[in-house]
Amino acid sequence: MLGGSSAGNLRARLRELDAEIGASAARRLEDIDSLIDEVAVSLERAALVGRDDLIEELRAHNVQLVSERDRIQTLFAPNDEFLHEDPVAEDPAPAPSPEPLPPPIESPPHEPEPAAPLQASRAKPTAKRESAPFAKSSRGFFAKERKLEGRKPQAELTKALVCEARALIQWAAALDEDDDSLRKSFQLLKEHFCRNWPDVPFFGFNADRAHPKETWLHLAEAYEVLPISIECLNWVEANKSSLHPSELEELIVAAAAPEAYLFRLAFDHGLEFKDKIQRDIHDRIIGVQEDLYIPWWETSARKRNESADIRKAAMGLTSVFERIKARVDKRVAVASRMAALQELAQSVEDQKRPVDDIVAMAADCLAAGVPPSDKKLVVLTLPYRAVLEESGDKRLTKLIEFISKQERVVAKAIAGFEIDQADDPEADRRLDRVKDLLRGKTVLFVGGHCVPEKQRKIKASLELGDLVWPEATPDTNQGAFLNEIKKADYVCYLIRWSRHSYKEVIDKAKAMGKKTIIVKAGVGLNRFVHDVDHQVLQTNGKG
């Protein structure tokens, strides 16, 4: 059993711990109260735009927060006698009678009675809670005003802030809040507007206009999205050729919503104003797609859209624009990468670029969004399968698998990879040209497995002095080709079946002054003749 001294020490320690825990609980309560305030603001905004689905979700969050706050307040209520009674001495004296509590002091309006941090956080004044949405909206306004200072002047964003300032000034008056800062901001915005657009009239500066707070807020959000319409139209005009008809229609209809929303606000509330930029956007939309039906412009009572629908479309413009822009940008990037790959493949064939570059370019195409099963990608990279495999680049694994599975089918189906002599009127002339070039010459094939039947056919058809085709395996030493290179007049690199390291054989052949040819696909007579004609006769000139 604890003695008096030990019990006293324990109580002192428990009081210290209680104070620490209480301070933590007080901070948690402050966080909860702040979240409750934010939920209240969001509820008001959701109600303003008619989002019933969000209202239900926000109410559920509010119930959870209030429940947690009540639980903490109950748990930490100061009713534990063990923690708060005086320390007990070894020989306790009779406890003195408690002194009567002083009468409560009336607190001034909107100010809580001084108390410990935990007590002060338990009950905020009602007036303060009612003004929380106003305070949050004001902070948002001032944040947007600060951003405006660092931007290129935009009339519509300035108009939006002016309308928002008028709404907040009215709100402040209703809550009996200080509006000095808002009025100063309003005046600064007016000076900013008149300095940058001195000849542009704006009804928002007319003190005689007395519209409801909600009307000013709707005007503010309409003006705030007008610049997005302008940005969208600028992008459409610059990228119209890259847009599918359905994408163009969706973007134009979406871009028309903000200006239609502003026009409808003026009409519905009898505001009697005209906005030049709103009219300019309207005319630009007609110019971009004159015959396009814009539902927001419908004047027929039967077909006329509700203002809430137009507002929803206007507020959704950013989402539509970003979605379609991302899709088109990806499509353009894919086309650009594929064009670059095609150009590179031709340069490799012409021996103007190293074959190693194919690896990085193929990976770039995949990164841009080209699927590994894309026919064009497979066709362009099929001759370089061995190079891709030896790179060890894991990004190319699926592409290599698809090339391996579809190699024969694709090679036959895609024009340019197998030359059909019967369908090629130039075949005979091409054969004669190559025969004249190679007659009596020694040709060396580097790569793959020797096919005697093809070896004999090519040699006889072209009247070669000799066609040397050494067996090449992954273990074949490059030095084994050196003697053959010295004897050869032409060295052909069978890239489709060759190890990447065999390219060094071609480099050595070039260094020795030998003519080199890259055979991309099959080694049939027609294919070989085509490659020799293109790479030697057509590109470099005969001999």
402-456 pLDDT tens trace: 888 766 564 454 344 344 444 566 788 888 899 999 999 999 988 777 778 888 8
Which uninterrupted H or E stretch holds 517?
A: strand 515-519
The predicted structure's pLDDT at residue 411: 45
Max Cα–Cα distance, the chain, nearest Å: 129
124 has a pLDDT exceeding 50: no
> What secondary structure, in 3-state letters, does 325-357 show?
HHHHHHHHHHHHHHHHHHHHHHHHHCCCCCCCH
Half-sphere exposure of 458 (CA within 13 A, CB side): 27
490-494 and 442-446 as β-strands: parallel, antiparallel, unpaired? parallel
**What's the whole-number mean pLDDT along residues 325-331?**
92
- Whether pLDDT at 538 is above 60: yes
**Per-residue pLDDT reduced to its tens digit, 1-20:** 445 566 667 777 777 777 77
Q: Which band of pLDDT confidence, cut at 50, 70 and 90, is reported for residue 388?
A: confident
Q: Which residues pair with 412 in a beta bridge?
A: none
* Distance of alpha carbon 398 from alpha carbon 400, whole angstroms: 5
**Residue 490 main-chain phi, psi, to 5 deg:** -130, 135
CA 289 centroid distance within chain? 28
Single-letter amino acid, residue 231: E
Return d(Cα 159, Cα 163) in angstroms, integer. Answer: 6
**What is the three-state SS of 74-136?**
HHCCCCCHHHHCCCCCCCCCCCCCCCCCCCCCCCCCCCCCCCCHHHHCCCCCHHHHHHHHHHH
Beta strands in 6-59 (DSSP E): none
Beta-carbon contacts of residue 417 (< 8 Å; ≥ 6 apart)? 379, 382, 410, 411, 520, 521, 522
For residues 11 and 512, which has the higher predicted lDDT (pLDDT)?
A: 512
Least confident of 131-135, 364-368, 470-474: 470-474
Write down the mean pLDDT value for the chain.
78
Please, how many CA atoms are within 13 Å of residue 323, restricted to the half-sphere of its CB? 10
State residue 210 phi and psi, 5-degree precision.
-125, 85
Does residue 74 surpass a pLDDT of 50?
A: yes
509/491 Cα distance (integer angstroms) = 7
Residue 336 CA neighbour count, 13 Å, CB half: 10
The bridge status of strand 466-468 relative to strand 442-446 is parallel
* DSSP three-state, residue 467: strand
Q: Which of 171, 234, 169 is nearest to 205 (CA)?
A: 169
Does the pTM exceed 0.85?
no
Report whether 517 contacts 490 (CB < 8 A): yes
By C-alpha distance, which of 376, 371, 383, 373 is closest to 414? 376
The predicted model gives 383-396 an average pLDDT of 83
* Three-state DSSP class for residue 275: coil
